[in-house]
Chains A and B, each alone.
Chain A
Amino acid sequence: MRKPFAITLDPGSSLANHTGTWRTLRPEYVDRLPPCNAACPAGENIQGWLWHAECGDYEAAWRLLTEQNPLPATMGRVCYNPCESACNRGALDEAVGINSIERFLGDEAIKRGWQFEKNELNGKRVLVVGAGPTGLSAAYHLARLGHQVQVREAGPLAGGMMRFGIPKYRLPRDVLDAEIARILALGIELKLNAKVTNLLEEKKNGNFDAVFLGVGAHIGKRAYIPAGTSMRMLDAVSVLRSMEGEAPPLLGRRVVVYGGGNTALDVARTAKRLGATESIIVYRRTREKMPAHDFELEEALQEGVMVKWLSTIKQAGESSILVEKMRLDATGFPQPTGEYETLETDSVVLALGQDVDLGLLDGVPGLEVKDGSVQIGANMMTGHPGVFAGGDMVPGERTVTVAVGHGKKAARHIDAWLRATAYEKKPSGEPASFDRLNPWYYSDAPKIVRPQLDLIRRQSTFDEVVGGLGERNALFEARRCLSCGNCFECDNCYGVCPDNAVIKRGPGKRYEFNYDYCKGCGLCAAECPCGAIRMVPEAL
């Protein structure tokens, strides 16, 4: 073509005009810390494994999940999911049902027989004391890091509080057994009924290079209640533990449970299932102040458990107790009123918290105990070099998830300590708060509620109360994730740039800016659904 001068031009020739020089603000891709990940006591990369679940690649999701937590099927049942409380989607409609998806992945793994990958042994030996959540978690992570691990458990079965504290209507034992078996399949040696009494001697005899203590807290706290001779007074931990034995505890037709925590609810609900006509919780404060989770209280109430709010037990008689009414003072503390009432009951179960059995630590030099808890440093090590501790026996919140988190953290520090280095956690980005998001882009989708067992069966059997999500529902739920603060390759930046200044690098490879042409308008940042782009002033 003989193009007339200046009037007719060659296509796309404007590439010679580098409009990037106009820019005063510069877009940059960032990775922010999503609130779910930030809130997870076990340090799970929730958003990361949801990504795989969104695609329907459940095995990849499970593998990423279990890099941090080896017990997803258990977690999906017993974790109180702080991730969901933190979830930004809660500000939009309802939090993503992370816990349900975790359970789905855990169950799927059991169903499909997925196993962990083994690592080559590196020659170091670690002793883990206690086969509860923290011990199992530590053992798992140590094994995956290549250490030879032996677990000593005082009880007849592994699982700790997961087995002896949580009723099976919340955590069926076949699920727990399957997840423990898979951990042990990494080559971990488990010794049952093997209570450790002299720690340093065991360590030396077994040639262990390090020790992790996770013995938990399973001694029920007592309260002084003047009582008659015939009233049955039990503690909650013993009641729940005996549920795992041959003979269920004898609680009678009318049961009073004293306390306001989750354990109190577990006992009251267990009593109901054992045939109690009346299962009454006596708690000194109000529902709002109750430490137990509201959903559990709600489930208990549905099942017929009753609660006497603002009440303390003053005295126990032969077949009744004397209850004093309380009132909350200005600071929210219960104060006696001098008003009393009598409550007929066959037994009283005290659910007032648990203490740690510290017997095995006698004679370990440097080890410090304060307020009944073993003191540890930032690296989870006790005052005695090479002895680490975690779970309920150290200060902190006492939940299964926290315990699992401790086990992981300790394992990583033990590994570093054994290699004479220090474990450095990868720095996480700025928080991905809701105001960083552009929520318009997310499809409207209310949370899928997990099915519940019908009430009659809940009152009379120990069948699992809360069901799991099917594959389609789990997929749906996973896709409700907003991917806060981290690029999920939605192509918005690539699409909305009026200057084609975003380069798409291909699936899984994200994008980069072409600063030759980017004018710095900021549309990419404003229209990024998940807040993974920030605008920074351009330097001269």
Chain B
Amino acid sequence: MLKQIEGSRAVAEAVALCRPEVICAYPISPQTHIVEALGEIVSSGRLAPCEFVNVESEFAAMSVAIGASAAGARAYTATASQGLLYMAEALFNASGLGLPIVMTVANRAIGAPINIWNDHTDTMSQRDCGWIQLFAENNQEALDLHVIAFRLAEELSLPVMVCMDGFILTHAYERVDVPDQAQVDAYLPPFNPRQILDPAEPVSIGAMVGPEAFMEVRYLAHAKQSQALSLIPRWAGAFRQAFGREAGGLARSYRTEEAETIVVALGSVLGTLKDTVDELRESGGRIGVLGVSCFRPWPFAAVREALAGAQRVVVVEKGMAVGVGGIVSNNVRTAISTRPIPVYDVVAGLGGRPITKASLAAVLQRAMTDDLELTTFLDLDRALVEKVLRKEREVRRSGPIAEQVLKLKG
């Protein structure tokens, strides 16, 4: 059924259709509307049986989900930003124990300085926590990815993070097609846990493992994630068959035929990028886009294949590793490491800075002529940072950079 609703609401509707049995809720912008909506749905009795647990922190949210999942319940929670970091320890635990929890992350910057707006720093910081990370391009995909995520998580007995851009998607009203319950039920069978806490068959979950077996345990976790790389396209295909539209998968190419330059990105920026590429194509540019849907596990082969014809790659990403540069770009480089082509890294949209078509077009045009630094910060106020750096050199002092920037701006 087509609905004109907010992204958060769309996600909540999708989650509810997946019949989660335990939902943990803790408020943090910009995911708050999702759990609010779910709370409403549970209260209305539409989603039953379901326990909606108002927890005292994100750490508790993930912990409650761990307990619920281990006891055989389909468990869900949502978070963002600082909240994701606050549950970091539990994230590793959930994946280590192989518990198929699904969590929405409404992507947001990480402080300090505190900033509630969108970028990918939060989930990028947790890229190695053992969760599968799927990125939604738009609200329809955000909705659809949750249905896929539960299927995938329970098939693999691994937790899945559905990443959607905070505010840009969560707070955007768009038309979405909300599937009906029968469709979702057909795609997503009831949870049949791989292991369960059950008095009828007692087990000890979460043993202490020493050097004699820890390597093997970690290798098996790695192997399981690699296994996901073949399952994810399969379940995306099944989704296409069942629902009649594309969602998920590992990576999707857009106008990459005969493209010399391919722009790689994750999430909602793909929309703007596609528009920009359309315009560049009109002016004869041989440029295309590769949208990565699955960031963890990293789809080496799919990316390599999609970039096979490119002479250069531009990675537009909403996050960075301080002191290194791009994160996604480094992953791209490892995927195509046998081919010595430039991989330009465009860090963009940090802390909610708008990514405009104009700016993108400008930077892509420079890239197409190989007139670009390997790492670029899109729309950076170069004069300002130079001034700060100059001052820094003059007056050696400690203290937060943010305040100094504000002072100079003011």
Contact (Cβ within 8 A) B207 A5: no
Give the residue of B96, B204, B213, B216 whose beta carbon is less than 8 angstroms from that of A11.
Answer: B204
Contact (Cβ within 8 A) B195 A1: yes
Contact (Cβ within 8 A) A7 B98: yes
Q: Indicate if B202 sits at the interface (CB-CB under 8 A).
A: yes
Q: Indicate if B209 sits at the interface (CB-CB under 8 A).
A: yes
* Chain A residue at smallest Cβ distance from B217: A6
Give the residue of B203, B207, B216, B217 whose beta carbon is less than 8 angstroms from that of A1.
Answer: B203
Q: How far is the CA of A8 from the CA of B98 in the complex (A)?
A: 10
Contact with B along A297-313 (1 / 0, CB 8 A): 00000000000000000
Q: Indicate if A538 sits at the interface (CB-CB under 8 A).
A: no
Q: Indicate if A3 sits at the interface (CB-CB under 8 A).
A: yes
Give the residue of B204, B213, B216, B220 whose beta carbon is less than 8 angstroms from that of A8.
Answer: B204
Q: Indicate if A420 sits at the interface (CB-CB under 8 A).
A: no
Interface hits, B147-171 → A, CB 8 Å: 157
Residues of A within 8 A of B97 (CB): 4, 7
Contact (Cβ within 8 A) B195 A6: no
Q: Indicate if A9 sits at the interface (CB-CB under 8 A).
A: yes
Interface hits, B190-210 → A, CB 8 Å: 194-196, 201-207, 209
Interface size class of A (residues with CB under 8 A): 10 to 19
Q: Indicate if A2 sits at the interface (CB-CB under 8 A).
A: yes
* Chain A residue at smallest Cβ distance from B213: A6
Give the residue of B194, B201, B203, B207 whose beta carbon is less than 8 angstroms from that of A6.
Answer: B207
Contact (Cβ within 8 A) A11 B202: yes
Contact (Cβ within 8 A) A8 B205: yes
Q: How far is the CA of A5 from the CA of B194 in the complex (A)?
A: 12
Q: How far is the CA of A11 from the CA of B203 in the complex (A)?
A: 5
Give the residue of A2, A5, A7 whose beta carbon is less than 8 angstroms from that of B205.
Answer: A7
B200 to chain A, nearest CB (A): 10
Contact (Cβ within 8 A) B202 A8: no
**Known pairs A1-B194, A1-B195, A1-B196; A6 contacts B216 (CB<8 A):** yes
* Chain A residue at smallest Cβ distance from B204: A9
Residues of B within 8 A of A5 (CB): 213, 216-217, 220
Give the residue of A1, A7, A10 whose beta carbon is less than 8 angstroms from that of B96.
Answer: A7
Residues of A within 8 A of B217 (CB): 5-7
Q: How far is the CA of A3 from the CA of B202 in the complex (A)?
A: 11
Contact with B along A1-25 (1 / 0, CB 8 A): 1111111111100000000000000
A357 to chain B, nearest CB (A): 82
Residues of B within 8 A of A8 (CB): 195, 203-207
Count contacts on B: residues with CB < 8 A to the other chain. Answer: 19
* Chain A residue at smallest Cβ distance from B220: A5
Contact (Cβ within 8 A) A6 B205: no
Contact (Cβ within 8 A) A6 B204: no
Contact (Cβ within 8 A) B194 A7: no
Q: How far is the CA of A9 from the CA of B201 in the complex (A)?
A: 11
> Main SS of the interface on chain A?
loop
* Chain B residue at smallest Cβ distance from A9: B204
B105 to chain A, nearest CB (A): 25
* Chain A residue at smallest Cβ distance from B212: A6
B67 to chain A, nearest CB (A): 15
* Chain A residue at smallest Cβ distance from B96: A7
Q: How far is the CA of A2 from the CA of B206 in the complex (A)?
A: 15
Residues of A within 8 A of B201 (CB): 1
Residues of B within 8 A of A4 (CB): 97-98, 157, 194-195, 220
Residues of A within 8 A of B98 (CB): 4, 7
B47 to chain A, nearest CB (A): 28
Contact with A along B285-320 (1 / 0, CB 8 A): 000000000000000000000000000000000000
Residues of A within 8 A of B213 (CB): 5-6
B14 to chain A, nearest CB (A): 29
Q: How far is the CA of A469 from the CA of B205 in the complex (A)?
A: 61
* Chain A residue at smallest Cβ distance from B193: A1
* Chain A residue at smallest Cβ distance from B98: A4
Residues of B within 8 A of A10 (CB): 203-204
Residues of B within 8 A of A7 (CB): 96-98, 205-207, 209, 217
Residues of A within 8 A of B209 (CB): 6-7
Q: How far is the CA of A180 from the CA of B386 in the complex (A)?
A: 122
Contact with B along A439-463 (1 / 0, CB 8 A): 0000000000000000000000000
Contact with A along B357-388 (1 / 0, CB 8 A): 00000000000000000000000000000000
A88 to chain B, nearest CB (A): 46
Residues of A within 8 A of B195 (CB): 1-4, 8
Interface hits, B205-229 → A, CB 8 Å: 205-207, 209, 213, 216-217, 220
Q: How far is the CA of A6 from the CA of B211 in the complex (A)?
A: 12
Contact with A along B95-123 (1 / 0, CB 8 A): 01110000000000000000000000000
Residues of A within 8 A of B157 (CB): 4
Q: How far is the CA of A11 from the CA of B196 in the complex (A)?
A: 13
Q: How far is the CA of A398 from the CA of B216 in the complex (A)?
A: 85
Q: How far is the CA of A5 from the CA of B220 in the complex (A)?
A: 9
Q: How far is the CA of A11 from the CA of B204 in the complex (A)?
A: 6
Residues of B within 8 A of A2 (CB): 194-195
Contact with B along A302-332 (1 / 0, CB 8 A): 0000000000000000000000000000000
Q: How far is the CA of A8 from the CA of B157 in the complex (A)?
A: 14
Residues of B within 8 A of A11 (CB): 202-204
A366 to chain B, nearest CB (A): 80
Interface hits, B70-114 → A, CB 8 Å: 96-98
Residues of B within 8 A of A1 (CB): 194-196, 201, 203
Residues of A within 8 A of B205 (CB): 7-8
- Of A2, A5, A6, A7, the most chain B CB neighbours within 10 A belong to A7
Q: How far is the CA of A378 from the CA of B66 in the complex (A)?
A: 80
Contact (Cβ within 8 A) B216 A3: no
Q: How far is the CA of A2 from the CA of B202 in the complex (A)?
A: 13
Q: How far is the CA of A2 from the CA of B157 in the complex (A)?
A: 11
B212 to chain A, nearest CB (A): 9
B202 to chain A, nearest CB (A): 4
Residues of A within 8 A of B207 (CB): 6-9
Residues of B within 8 A of A6 (CB): 207, 209, 213, 216-217
Q: How far is the CA of A3 from the CA of B201 in the complex (A)?
A: 12
Residues of A within 8 A of B206 (CB): 7-8
Residues of A within 8 A of B216 (CB): 5-6
Residues of B within 8 A of A9 (CB): 203-204, 207
B306 to chain A, nearest CB (A): 33
Q: How far is the CA of A8 from the CA of B206 in the complex (A)?
A: 6
Q: A1-B195, A4-B220, A7-B217 are in contact. List 11 more A-B contacts (CB 8 A).
A: A2-B195, A3-B203, A6-B217, A7-B205, A7-B206, A7-B209, A8-B206, A9-B204, A9-B207, A10-B203, A10-B204
7 residue pairs A–B, Cβ–Cβ below 8 Å = A8-B203, A8-B204, A8-B206, A9-B203, A9-B207, A10-B204, A11-B202
Interface residues of B (CB under 8 A from A): 96-98, 157, 194-196, 201-207, 209, 213, 216-217, 220
The 4 closest A-B pairs by CB, nearest first: A11-B202, A9-B204, A6-B213, A6-B209
